[in-house]
Structure 1
Amino acid sequence: MGKYTAPAEQIIEAIGGKENIAKATHCVTRLRFALKDESKVDQTTLETIDVVKGSFSTSGQFQVVIGQGTVNDVYKEMVALAGIEESSKDDVKEEAGDKMNPLQRAVKTLADIFIPILPAIVTAGLLMGINNILTAPDIFFEGQSLVQVYEQWADIAEMINLIANTAFTFLPVLIGWSAMKRFGGSPLLGIVLGAMLVHPSLLNAWAYGSAQASGDITYWNVFGLQVQQVGYQAQVLPILVASYVLAKIEIFLNRRVHDSIKMLVVAPVALLVTGFLSFILIGPVTFIIGGWLTDGVLAIFDNAAWLGGLLYGGLYAVLVITGMHHTFLAVDLQLSSGPLGGTYLWPMLALSNIAQGSAALAVGLFTKNNEKLRGLSITSAISAYLGITEPAMFGVNLRYRYAFISALVGSAIGGILLGTYGVLGKIGVGGLPAIISIQREFWGVFAIGMVIAIVVPFVLSAIITLAKRNKA
């Protein structure tokens, strides 16, 4: 009997037995199940197992938090004990997707597209934050930036800025690759489609507003139809819709064109048709819709900023539970490419991360005679302070609901503050390091927001934890 044989057997029993497992896989820290009937899960028993740090259900999957490294060994034992085949994450996602309603499937589709490119976007945001530190005045020297005082750093800052901006400049290329994978088409064609929408011979989308005002936009004449020669840098909707169309055309042609001429017909025809549709119809229409989306969010923060902060700051963690938080990445990207050059939402996300960490930390520090919980709370709090909240949320706060609610209260108050003062930031890192992604003029307000997100959840959770301990 192996070291993890007993825990694996206990997990199988707690999730309803091996007969209840349709598919099972694992990621870096979690076991992922597509279960036949989630009502058979004994979550109370499950979370008493030594290796289990938490569990939750999302997007049709039941997930058990184990921890890095250990999860591999537990999974191997579980597969052997249950007599099931090892599955990939895609297999489990497909099995779980059959149980979803249309809204859940739409959210899952967006998540499947954006999650693979998220590391590139977050890295770009982090590097842009570093560039801001180097180039913003009044950080190290009054009225001057670091590169103005130490000019030898200027070219380094410029190189960092170029590296950071690449992911955003060629965002349609990243989305095209990921979307085509999700829609069942060729990822290479998705890359070409995305590159086509940001081709250097087109008017850069960043200059569209000024070009429109001055009447400098050039047009193609397609049989009398005037088509703007405009690129779609940093735009999300055009490439999403275009990728879907391209994938469907490619799949349609692959089923009907003989193998001997597929290379000569499928890709050229699919790309040509999609290209014409993108510039004539898809691009202009989705560009307008994207503008409406941006204007709608801006209208909320222009007319009732405190309400926008309250709702997004207070409910972001709830969105994480449902998986819908991934859909707001598209909104962040649209706002960042708009006239403000930043987004209201990312700073509130960072406060939500911090609040979840503080609530978990308080539970661990003030719960008596539970070393496992103490260890989990401290490590998950550190993770949340660095922008990864799942261990804190699912391992601690949702188990002790008052902690989760305390975190929501703290992030809502912080969100009201950030919304009221119109704090803007770039997509980047979350948690405490997020301050480098915030526009320089808002650092003071954001720092106050961080203090709120640390203190309020911690104090509320500590008070309730102590009250429950004394009552016991």
Structure 2
Amino acid sequence: MNYHEVAKEILTALGGKENVSAAAHCATRLRLVLNDESIVDQKKLDEMEAVKGTFSTGGQFQVILGSGIVNKVYKELTELTGLSEMSTKDVKDASAKKLNPIQRFVKMLSDIFVPIIPAIVAGGLLMGINNLLTAKDLFISGMSLIEAYPEMADLAALINTFANAAFVFLPVLIGFSAAQRFGGNAYLGAALGMLMVHPDLLNGWGYGGALVNGEIPVWKFFGFEIEKIGYQGTVLPVLVASFILAKTENFLRRVVPSALDNLLTPLLTIFITGILTFTAVGPITRAAGNLLSDGMIWLYDTTGFIGGALFGLAYAPIVITGMHHSFIAVETQLLADMAKTGGSFIFVIAAMSNVAQGAATLGVLTVTRDKKLKGTASAAGISALLGITEPAMFGINLKLRYPFIGAITGAAIGSAFVTFFKVKAVALGAAGLPGVISISPASILPYIIGMGIAFAVAFVVTIVLAKRDAKKMTNSGAKDAAA
């Protein structure tokens, strides 16, 4: 492959170097910020053998080339445009300027939660392993594995401790990431998170019982009382507190004399933010977080499989807007408060949608005669089944339209099925075929059946619509010939 010529063709199709304001690449895609996406020659890009697909999201125009190729084409592209090599973070920052306020808010949540997902996934999957060891009737009738093999009991307890750590100390993770995102010192953010889960405080999960019994401990000074309550497993309180911390720190850095900055700024930042957190921010946002979780649970329990079907139908369109990133905060709260919520139903719906997108793309692979489209569809379809849907959704399904209809139909029916059986995830992970390990042990079978339904419906509907469209084109051609 002549990478220089490929880069030159892509640049011409994009509208020339004047239209490219920023460029980076990930493992498989060119990630570009264009001044005007309307002048892109999409047809020319689609006809290029090296280009496996394109899509636009979050202010970025992305060109799928594949691993081993994208880095070489990117190198030639930077030489042609005169742009210096940039990281994906640089491109994200550049693309943020093109986003509207809602998109910026979603991006902010994404920037905060995406870095801590590995810790949450690790904890959640360990929780899933613990559930496999402790669930009755899963492997042995009437017994769990640790009941059948008592020598494994301490192993299960050890795994459970490892699993809970990320959720017990969740405010520390969020505090670090959020303070950094809001422009403050990340380590002060972590210290704030530690303050919110300090062992001297009443454990946050015991708050409800203590409130009923009237046994909430307090600090008393100068006639004031402040409740000594921890915020284990919470999301909203530490998010808002981290924002206040970052703004307080930045304000103090401007007004405190430089000679005293390193001494007074951290001291006053933690003290002021801590007081505000325990007197106002924490109690208000705890109530708001509980209201949000309770609202989601009520919606899930009340609307039943009909609500599940509507959510499944809407999930892929939500992904197109990028709004699905805001679900991470809600999912994290649902998982952190699993004793009340039972886990996350959002993950399960996402898995149904992803599997349906993959099935629709594989349906295109079955019916198309275009060799390039076959190559793209096979790779994109498998990727979607494993939980990565962008190549399938943007590269195939949305472009052809009929597979996207098939996909959201399959997602809706699959989601209705899993919602009917109250399938929930106990961990974040790859929302697709590998997601089975993230599911509550008692719900694994309905989850697998739900994926099968989503796949089958999306695949069949895609093929039926493809044949209908082909028949229409044939009839239209025959009429034109007769005329």
Q: Same fold (TM over 0.5)?
A: yes
* Residue number in structure 1 paired with 2:481: none
- Is 1:375 aligned with 2:403? no
* Residue number in structure 2 paired with 1:18: 17
Offset at residue 392 of structure 1 (A): 1.7
Offset at residue 446 of structure 1 (A): 2.1
Structure 2 letter corresponding to 1:417: F
Residues 12-91 of structure 1: matches in 2 within 5 Å?
A: 12-91=11-90
**SS of residue matched to 1:168:** helix
Query: CA 1:341/1:196 → structure 2, altered by over 3 Å: closer, same or farther?
Result: farther
**Residue 14 of structure 2 contacts residue 41 of structure 2 at CA under 8 Å; is this kept in 1?**
yes
Mapped to 1, the partners of 2:169 and 2:50 lie a distance apart of 42
**SS of residue matched to 2:202:** coil
**Residue 332 of structure 1 contacts residue 427 of structure 1 at CA under 8 Å; is this kept in 2?**
no
**SS of residue matched to 1:407:** helix
Query: CA 1:193/1:73 → structure 2, altered by over 3 Å: closer, same or farther?
Result: same
- Is 1:434 aligned with 2:435? yes
Mapped to 2, the partners of 1:172 and 1:312 lie a distance apart of 29
- Is 1:241 aligned with 2:240? yes
**Residue 133 of structure 1 contacts residue 436 of structure 1 at CA under 8 Å; is this kept in 2?**
no
* Residue number in structure 2 paired with 1:452: 453
Structure 2 letter corresponding to 1:103: I
* Residue number in structure 2 paired with 1:342: 343
**SS of residue matched to 1:423:** coil
Structure 2 letter corresponding to 1:372: K
Mapped to 2, the partners of 1:161 and 1:376 lie a distance apart of 42
Offset at residue 469 of structure 1 (A): 5.0
**SS of residue matched to 1:399:** helix
* Residue number in structure 1 paired with 2:462: 461
Mapped to 2, the partners of 1:173 and 1:68 lie a distance apart of 36
* Residue number in structure 2 paired with 1:261: 260
**Residue 359 of structure 2 contacts residue 407 of structure 2 at CA under 8 Å; is this kept in 1?**
yes
Query: CA 1:308/1:85 → structure 2, altered by over 3 Å: closer, same or farther?
Result: same
| TM-score, scaled to structure 1 | 0.95
Mapped to 1, the partners of 2:27 and 2:199 lie a distance apart of 39
| TM-score, scaled to structure 2 | 0.93
Mapped to 2, the partners of 1:398 and 1:225 lie a distance apart of 59
Structure 1 letter corresponding to 2:365: G
Mapped to 1, the partners of 2:382 and 2:147 lie a distance apart of 36
* Residue number in structure 1 paired with 2:478: none
CA distances 1:183-227 after superposition (whole Å, capped 9, x unpaired):
111111111111111112211222222222222221112433322
**Residue 30 of structure 2 contacts residue 64 of structure 2 at CA under 8 Å; is this kept in 1?**
yes
Indicate the larger mover: 18-27 or 58-67: 58-67
**SS of residue matched to 2:206:** helix
Indicate the larger mover: 344-353 or 218-227: 218-227
* Residue number in structure 1 paired with 2:320: 321
**SS of residue matched to 2:55:** strand
Mapped to 2, the partners of 1:373 and 1:334 lie a distance apart of 41
- Is 1:423 aligned with 2:423? yes
Offset at residue 275 of structure 1 (A): 0.8
Mapped to 2, the partners of 1:31 and 1:171 lie a distance apart of 34
CA distances 1:260-303 after superposition (whole Å, capped 9, x unpaired):
22210111111111111111111100001111111211221232
Mapped to 1, the partners of 2:390 and 2:377 lie a distance apart of 12
* Residue number in structure 2 paired with 1:395: 395
Mapped to 2, the partners of 1:222 and 1:458 lie a distance apart of 67
Mapped to 1, the partners of 2:297 and 2:196 lie a distance apart of 26
Structure 1 letter corresponding to 2:252: L
**Residue 138 of structure 2 contacts residue 442 of structure 2 at CA under 8 Å; is this kept in 1?**
no
Structure 2 letter corresponding to 1:330: A
**Residue 7 of structure 1 contacts residue 50 of structure 1 at CA under 8 Å; is this kept in 2?**
no
Offset at residue 468 of structure 1 (A): 4.3
Indicate the larger mover: 89-98 or 268-277: 89-98
**Residue 129 of structure 1 contacts residue 438 of structure 1 at CA under 8 Å; is this kept in 2?**
yes
**SS of residue matched to 2:341:** coil
Residues 157-236 of structure 1: matches in 2 within 5 Å?
A: 157-236=156-235
Offset at residue 243 of structure 1 (A): 0.7
Mapped to 1, the partners of 2:176 and 2:51 lie a distance apart of 36
Offset at residue 448 of structure 1 (A): 2.4
List runs of 5+ in structure 1 lacking aligned partners: none
**Residue 425 of structure 1 contacts residue 439 of structure 1 at CA under 8 Å; is this kept in 2?**
yes
CA distances 1:7-46 after superposition (whole Å, capped 9, x unpaired):
1111111111100111111222221112111111122222
Offset at residue 166 of structure 1 (A): 1.8
Indicate the larger mover: 302-311 or 176-185: 302-311
**Residue 427 of structure 1 contacts residue 437 of structure 1 at CA under 8 Å; is this kept in 2?**
yes
Mapped to 2, the partners of 1:75 and 1:36 lie a distance apart of 18
Percent identity over the alignment? 49
CA distances 1:345-368 after superposition (whole Å, capped 9, x unpaired):
111111111111111111112211
Structure 2 letter corresponding to 1:460: V
CA distances 1:329-386 after superposition (whole Å, capped 9, x unpaired):
1111222334123122111111111111111111112211x33322322222222222
* Residue number in structure 2 paired with 1:121: 120
Mapped to 1, the partners of 2:294 and 2:204 lie a distance apart of 17
**SS of residue matched to 1:331:** helix
**SS of residue matched to 2:24:** strand
**Residue 7 of structure 2 contacts residue 77 of structure 2 at CA under 8 Å; is this kept in 1?**
yes
Mapped to 2, the partners of 1:342 and 1:219 lie a distance apart of 32
**Residue 127 of structure 2 contacts residue 427 of structure 2 at CA under 8 Å; is this kept in 1?**
no
Query: CA 1:23/1:204 → structure 2, altered by over 3 Å: closer, same or farther?
Result: same
* Residue number in structure 1 paired with 2:310: 311
* Residue number in structure 2 paired with 1:386: 386
Query: CA 1:400/1:123 → structure 2, altered by over 3 Å: closer, same or farther?
Result: farther
**Residue 128 of structure 2 contacts residue 427 of structure 2 at CA under 8 Å; is this kept in 1?**
no
Structure 2 letter corresponding to 1:383: S
**Residue 313 of structure 1 contacts residue 349 of structure 1 at CA under 8 Å; is this kept in 2?**
yes
* Residue number in structure 2 paired with 1:413: 413
Indicate the larger mover: 195-204 or 336-345: 336-345
Offset at residue 236 of structure 1 (A): 0.7
Mapped to 1, the partners of 2:288 and 2:206 lie a distance apart of 19
Mapped to 1, the partners of 2:389 and 2:163 lie a distance apart of 25
Mapped to 1, the partners of 2:284 and 2:28 lie a distance apart of 41
Offset at residue 467 of structure 1 (A): 4.3
Mapped to 2, the partners of 1:36 and 1:295 lie a distance apart of 43
**Residue 184 of structure 1 contacts residue 247 of structure 1 at CA under 8 Å; is this kept in 2?**
yes
Structure 1 letter corresponding to 2:464: I
